């Protein structure tokens, strides 16, 4: 058995890669850590090589094959979910599990639910219509601040507040979309990015309206039939209802005539237009609908925290939500739910590695794009 | 007051222009928004501080200030060029035939990696320039001008002229222009596309390094988060001038620097970043091809 069927030049390449990695980080880390990083790079390159040839050949391919298979299983399960019994079992589990958890895990689950709503909303824009939105958090912020201002100034209740928040985010999206959706794809991405920044800057500086960096506190709690929600478990059930509704609505939307038109636009806009699809109006619809979900999630966030400040609406938040959509597999609802779990729930369990979390996250993004650009559970689509 | 703001705006604009050149060159060839470019500028700023600190420990500034600055800038440029080439090789080249979204997300990933790497290696705190160089300012037409501003303007204009000569007069520059017109055809006539793209990234990153060193000399401070806003604004400058066009990036950089400075001093300083992005959005809506860019027609 030949462990390394590689030629001498190949060895030289591995050494050169590690040497480069060490050299690049040298001025920042000092000699000791640079050697460490060179060592880690060597190990990474060698294990990559071993997965291609040698005793572990095909291990990586096998792994990705298993992932695809898991994706198919989950697809099958999600199809089975449409049978009422399976759906009922899942809902009962989701209803019962948090009762046996402590408040901390309930909060984590609630947060995950909120991000599922956000990610499914963004999926309408990015995954369905293929519009890269890098400023999604602006609409989330509009929803949150709408409810915060209405609640603290006019004592508006939660449910009308939610309608107002969704409406405000939609109108905002309509105004922005009408003027920018005619732009080419990457220009649109940059405009949304600039928009997200402008929104944050305005929130930070419009003291009389938004409270500036201090934000708005003492936002009203939601009430249902005279019972005011305040415990973590209450909010868990609230977001569960909202998330289930979102899953149902986006699922129906995906299968509709509109959903199919979005996919056509995503795959080839010029061809879609030639087939008689009004691309501008449909893109606008996707942008507005997706933003409405951001508004709803924003209202929930404001009510849950009873406090909003510009800090919660940074560009990084937009990137996180985008990563949930991309990581799980664009366009796939189970994939996006998995993505939200991976990015919100998992890091909570790895709190001790907090400093290295973001670094690993960056590597995961690059690695995903290179090795599985369709997402963890993404199907091998047509394009 | 006016002259002062003009000079400050031009100095700021020169920095934006240097970073914008990297965006515009990469976009011209790959149609990729190199989101990690702002981080390369941040690396350049840190390298400037690190190298300058090292040279100060060796006692070089007392001997020759010009030599110290020269070594700092060259070392920073070399390292950033290496980073640029490495980023392209690792994060973009495997994705060259992927959908448009993939390289952009990969670029966001690289940006996160570089930011957190510098944060872990160099700390979360602001990093200050060693107080070795004290610059005596001078007064010109009632404006207070620091020698650093002169250095920024001089160096950036020199580099832009050199770049323009490189692009128009050399063989490699010609290959770059050919690649940006049609990559497949350029490959067919024997141009080594991979090499051209690597060189593009290296030149862009080296220019960003100069911008980074200049900014740390100017403000005396660097932070691991500085690349994000600067990168965004430099991209704005590139779009303002017409992305893909090298004179456009220079024009856009200076225009943006002036707009930002005058808005900050005459309208509102807290909203100066918002003005920059507003300019970007308005430009894209009214004139997506920028000030000097050419109209782009979508082909099937």
Instruction: Please check the confidence at residue A21 and state whether its pLDDT lies above 70.
Output: yes
Note whether A187 contacts B284, CB cutoff 8 Å: yes
Q: Where residue A82 falls among pLDDT bands split at 50, 70, 90?
A: low
- What is the rounded average pLDDT of the residues A224-237? 80
CA distance A358 to A372: 20
Note whether B281 contacts A191, CB cutoff 8 Å: yes
What is the rounded radius of gyration, in angstroms, for the C-alpha atoms of chain B? 19
Q: What are phi and psi of B143, to 5 degrees?
A: -110, 140
> How many contacts does A have with B, using Cβ atoms within 8 A?
142
Note whether A28 contacts B232, CB cutoff 8 Å: no
> Over chain A, what is the mean pLDDT?
82
DSSP state at residue A226: T
**Model confidence pLDDT, tens digit, residues A118-149:** 999 999 998 888 888 888 999 999 999 999 99
Q: How far is A75 from chain B (nearest CA, A)?
A: 23
Task: Report the DSSP beta bridge partners of residue A307.
Answer: A217
Question: Which of A29, A194, A363 has its CB closest to that of B121?
Answer: A29
| A380 touching B (Cβ < 8 Å) | no
Which residues, given as ranges, of chain B have pLDDT below 50?
A: 299-300
**Model confidence pLDDT, tens digit, residues A146-196:** 999 998 888 888 889 999 999 999 999 999 888 888 877 777 887 888 888
To the nearest whole percent, how much of chain A has pLDDT over 90? 18
B/e letters for A127-156, b = 16+ CB within 10 Å, e = fewer, are bbbbbbbbbbbbbbbbbbbbbbbbbbeeeb
Cβ contacts of B277 on chain A, cutoff 8 Å: 194-195, 197-198
Q: What are phi and psi of B265, to 5 degrees?
A: -90, -25
Note whether B228 contacts A315, CB cutoff 8 Å: yes
Q: Where residue A360 falls among pLDDT bands split at 50, 70, 90?
A: confident
Note whether A373 contacts B82, CB cutoff 8 Å: no
CA distance B251 to B223: 27
Note whether A366 contacts B79, CB cutoff 8 Å: no
Cβ contacts of A322 on chain B, cutoff 8 Å: 105, 108
Question: Which of A186, A189, A363 has its CB closest to that of B113?
Answer: A363
Contacts with B171 (C-beta within 8 Å, 6 or more apart), sequence order: none
**Model confidence pLDDT, tens digit, residues B163-189:** 989 998 999 999 999 998 888 899 999
Report the predicted TM-score, pTM, of the whole model to 2 decimal places. 0.83
Note whether B281 contacts A195, CB cutoff 8 Å: yes
Cβ contacts of B111 on chain A, cutoff 8 Å: 362
Q: Where residue A1 falls among pLDDT bands split at 50, 70, 90?
A: very low
pLDDT of residue A44: 81
**Model confidence pLDDT, tens digit, residues A308-320:** 888 888 887 888 8
C-beta separation of B243 from B17 below 8 A: no
Closest among B172, B196, B217, B223 to B43, alpha carbons compared:
B223
Closest among A294, A376, A289 to A336, alpha carbons compared:
A376
Would you tell me which residues 7-26 of chain A have a C-beta closer than 8 angstroms to some C-beta of chain B? 20, 23-25
**Model confidence pLDDT, tens digit, residues A84-98:** 777 777 778 778 777
| A179 touching B (Cβ < 8 Å) | yes
Q: How far is A54 from chain B (nearest CA, A)?
A: 24
Listing DSSP states for chain B in one string gives: -HHHHHHHHHHHHHHHHHHHHHHHHHHHHH----TTHHHHHHHHHHHHHHHHHHHHHHTHHHH-HHHHHHHHHHHHHHHHHHHHHHHIIIIIGGGTTS-THHHHHHHHHHHHHHHHHHHHHH-SS-EEPPTT--PPPEEETTEEE-HHHHHHHHHHHHHHHHHHHHHHHSHHHHHHHHHHH-HHHHHHTT--HHHHHHHHHHHHHHHHHHHHHHHHHHHSEE-TTHHHHHHHHHHHHHHHH-TT-HHHHHHHHHHHHHHHHHHHHHT-STTHHHHHHHHHHHHHHH-TTTTTPPP-----
| A205 touching B (Cβ < 8 Å) | yes
H helix or E strand, kind and range, residue A197: helix A185-205
**Model confidence pLDDT, tens digit, residues B183-193:** 889 999 999 99
pLDDT of residue B162: 92
Instruction: Please check the confidence at residue A334 and state whether its pLDDT lies above 90.
Output: no
- Return the structure tokens found at B11: 């100095």
CA distance A313 to A341: 20
C-beta separation of A290 from A124 below 8 A: yes
Helix (H, G, I), strand (E, B) or coil at A132: coil
ipTM of the complex: 0.84
| A381 touching B (Cβ < 8 Å) | no
Q: How far is A161 from chain B (nearest CA, A)?
A: 28
| A366 touching B (Cβ < 8 Å) | yes
**Model confidence pLDDT, tens digit, residues A275-299:** 888 889 999 999 999 999 999 999 9
């Amino acid at each position: 058995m030949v462990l390394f069927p590689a030629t001498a030049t190949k060895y030289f390449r591995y050494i050169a890669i590690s040497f480069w990695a060490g050299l690049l980080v040298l001025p920042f880390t000092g000699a000791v850590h640079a050697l460490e990083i060179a060592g880690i790079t060597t190990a990474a390159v060698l294990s990559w090589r071993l997965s291609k040839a040698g005793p572990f050949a095909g291990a990586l391919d096998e792994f990705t094959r298993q992932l695809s298979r898991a994706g198919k299983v989950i697809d099958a399960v999600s199809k089975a979910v449409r049978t009422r019994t399976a759906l009922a079992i899942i809902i009962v589990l989701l209803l019962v599990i948090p009762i046996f958890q402590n408040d901390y895990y309930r909060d984590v689950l609630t947060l995950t639910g909120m991000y599922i709503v956000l990610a499914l909303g963004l999926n309408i824009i990015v995954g369905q219509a293929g519009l890269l939105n890098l400023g999604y958090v602006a609409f989330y912020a509009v929803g949150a601040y709408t409810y915060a201002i209405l609640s603290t100034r006019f004592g508006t209740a939660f449910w009308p507040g939610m309608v107002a928040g969704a409406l405000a985010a939609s109108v905002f999206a309509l105004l922005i979309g009408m003027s920018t959706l005619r732009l080419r794809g990457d220009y649109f991405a940059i405009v949304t990015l600039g928009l997200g920044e402008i929104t944050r800057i305005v929130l930070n500086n419009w003291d009389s309206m938004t409270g500036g960096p201090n934000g708005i506190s003492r936002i009203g709690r939601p009430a249902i039939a005279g019972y005011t929600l305040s415990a973590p478990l209450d909010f868990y059930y609230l977001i569960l209802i909202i998330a289930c509704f979102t899953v149902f609505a986006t699922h129906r939307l995906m299968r509709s005539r509109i959903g199919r038109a979005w996919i056509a636009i995503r795959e080839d806009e010029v061809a879609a237009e030639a087939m008689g699809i009004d691309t501008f109006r449909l893109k606008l619809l996707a942008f507005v609908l997706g933003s409405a979900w951001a508004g709803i999630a924003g209202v929930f966030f404001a009510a849950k925290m009873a406090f909003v400040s510009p800090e919660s609406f940074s560009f990084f938040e937009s990137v996180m939500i985008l990563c949930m959509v991309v990581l799980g597999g664009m366009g796939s609802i189970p994939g996006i739910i998995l993505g939200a779990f991976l990015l919100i729930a998992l890091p909570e369990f790895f709190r001790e590695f907090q400093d290295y979390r973001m670094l690993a996250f960056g590597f995961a993004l690059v690695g995903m794009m290179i090795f599985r650009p369709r997402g963890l559970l993404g199907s091998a689509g047509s394009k | 007051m006016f002259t002062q703001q003009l000079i400050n705006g031009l100095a700021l604009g020169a920095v934006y222009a240097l970073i914008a050149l990297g965006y515009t060159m990469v976009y011209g060839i790959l149609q990729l928004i190199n989101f990690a470019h702002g981080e390369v500028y941040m690396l350049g700023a840190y390298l400037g501080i690190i190298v300058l600190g090292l040279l100060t420990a060796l006692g070089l500034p007392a001997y020759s200030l010009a030599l110290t600055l020269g070594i700092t800038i060259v070392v920073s440029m070399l390292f950033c060029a290496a980073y640029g080439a490495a980023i392209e090789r690792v994060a973009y080249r495997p994705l060259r035939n992927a959908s448009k979204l993939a390289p952009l997300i990969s670029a966001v990933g690289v940006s996160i990696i570089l930011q957190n790497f510098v944060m872990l290696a160099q700390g979360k705190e602001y990093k200050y320039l060693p107080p070795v160089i004290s610059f005596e300012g001078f007064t010109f037409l009632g404006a207070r001008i620091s020698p650093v501003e002169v250095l920024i303007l001089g160096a950036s204009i020199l580099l832009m002229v050199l770049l323009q000569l490189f692009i128009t007069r050399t063989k490699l520059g010609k290959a770059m222009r050919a690649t940006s017109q049609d990559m497949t055809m350029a490959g067919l006539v024997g141009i080594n596309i991979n090499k051209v793209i690597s060189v593009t990234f290296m030149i862009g990153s080296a220019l960003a390094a100069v911008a980074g060193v200049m900014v740390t000399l100017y403000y005396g401070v660097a932070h691991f988060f500085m690349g994000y806003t600067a990168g965004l604004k430099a991209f704005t400058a590139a779009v303002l001038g017409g992305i893909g066009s090298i004179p456009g990036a220079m024009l856009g950089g200076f225009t943006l620097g002036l707009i930002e400075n005058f808005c900050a001093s005459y309208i509102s300083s807290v909203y100066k970043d918002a003005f920059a992005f507003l300019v970007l959005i308005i430009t894209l809506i009214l004139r997506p091809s920028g000030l000097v860019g050419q109209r782009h027609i979508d082909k099937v």
